Structure 1
Amino acid sequence: MKPERKSIDEIELLEQMLLVRAYEEMIVESSAAGKVPGTCTSVGQEAAGVGVVSALTADDLILTNHRSAAHLLARGADPGRLLAEVMGRRDGYCQGRSGSLHISVRELGVVLTSTIVGGELSLVTGVALAQKMLGRPGIVACFFGDGAACEGIFHESLNLASVWDLPILYVCENNQWQAFVHRRETMKSDHIAEWAAPYGVDGATVDGNDVAAVRAATLAAAAHVRDSSRPFLLETYTYRSRGHFEPDDQAYVDPAEHTAWLARDPIEACRRRLLGNGRLTPETAAALQQRVQQRIAAALAFAEASPFPDISEMTRDVYA
């Protein structure tokens, strides 16, 4: 019996990317105004997160990292509760305890967000082993960046997943930058997917700025994991267009490289394609943008109206 997967149209994918972009841009503005703490954004790489998550089923689990907004929102997380969490409010998904860097949403299958580089890679094998031993449906998707791929835990995790035949879809969002260091300073090859072969694991690279291509590649990769009960490494080749952590002036970035990647913006590429093939009209595009902005305005109002946790709640859910 094949798992049920919600069908989705590319216009829906565009709207999801618009939502992610608007959500993060609002956080950037609020951070600059001193209203919320600084955070890591995924601006410029929305197609990678949205495309992958859209191809997963409700039974699949997710482990993600400090650039998690696209993964959470595409999974169906409420932007108001996400923002409340970032602002440390009681109505956030973790009652204001996690900020933006540690959010988990159990009801959506988001096991954790790890701010430790490669932290999710160290835990995904245990999660997948539990799935396998308990006979639970669903695979486990693990998101990480090219920086984490240069950590030893990446190789340990991939090796163990191969040895134990674990149902893991490794998703490397290769966004070219590892904090303030370009990936060319830390690795000789352009692509990380090829690193899977020595461990007997299949891999593939996809244009991470093409949301339709990412979704198609993920559907194929996820099917491979389900059918073989073996891991797979999918690399989404993309670009982080904002700095490592807000605020960041990106003085260390080559302006020519930055300009070239901005010309490949995933949202504009999707919008142009849909307008060009007649699937989208300028009026519909404007309506999408307006609907997204209304959702973000409502999310901000919800978060700002949410109270801060009482001091008496400080040790709730703390076990040691």
Structure 2
Amino acid sequence: MLAESAPSQNRVKVKKRYHQNKVALLFLTPWLVGLVFLTLGPMLASLYFSFTDYSILSPPAWVGTSNYVTMFTGDALFTKSLKVTFLYVFVSVPLKLAFALAVALLLNKGIRGLGIYRTIYYIPSLLGGSVAIAMLWRKMLGGDGLLNQLLLYVGIHAPDWVANPKYSLYSIVLLSVWQFGSSMIIFLSGLKQIPSEYYEASSVDGAGKINQFFNITIPILSPVIFFNLVMQIITSFQSFTQAFVISNGSGGPVNSTLMYSLYLYKKGFAFFQMGYASAMAWVLVILIGCFTLLVFRSSRTWVHYEDGGK
């Protein structure tokens, strides 16, 4: 009897597991459909288009690696957009993370109404990527904008921060740093997880605030810093709205704000060179992947985890 009941029990378990898998697959179906038709499908299509001469208005014609060769050997604006984007990433990301960490340290002091302050500081991250805020930023930093009017009251004649090629990119950097809210919230959550006993013990040993910051706060917070760094690098390489609105879609003045994503957009939707734009998109994917890989490789030397690993 026991020998006969064992197979039947196994069949029941298999049927039950099969039923559970069908239910799980049913709930996963919307995500799978989105993955195939909204992510993988367009990605594969753009990969094919990157090897074609495709103007949207006419069928794609296969040209092999011609788009990539032209990009790296005969397109001066491609090189310019890379330089502008690299400068933007290398300046904005460290400043943004440093500012977010500084605000998080201030909010971690146990002040009253922490929830209100946290919400107020997070609002720029919700609004900063909008067209309206970018337009407001352009007006505020213009030649007769609010900032220059305030400086004029103290006798400083400032330039047009948006129209001057020396400062135009940094006006976009400043807008990016202003959107520090999401990184600040993550930093604040990480700071809350640091045991106060560490600071108390170090104080007994005579450690000051600066010593505690570099020897306790930073090492314990390094996984959070690592996460924010990766996310901000990926986001910064894809920046588009601010440069588009502030420069009126031109990338000016003198291409000083010609971000890579903006130039990609112009190639695809202004000049209808969709094949070339697709090639640029895949170069961007590779660039982001390389920089992300570098950060992951470097994390072995500076990211510390609770189990003592790196």
What is the TM-score normalised by the length of structure 1? 0.27
Q: Which has the larger radius of gyration?
A: 2
What is the TM-score normalised by the length of structure 2? 0.28
Q: Which has the higher contact order (CA 8 A, sep 6+)?
A: 2
Give 1 or 2: higher helix fraction.
Answer: 2
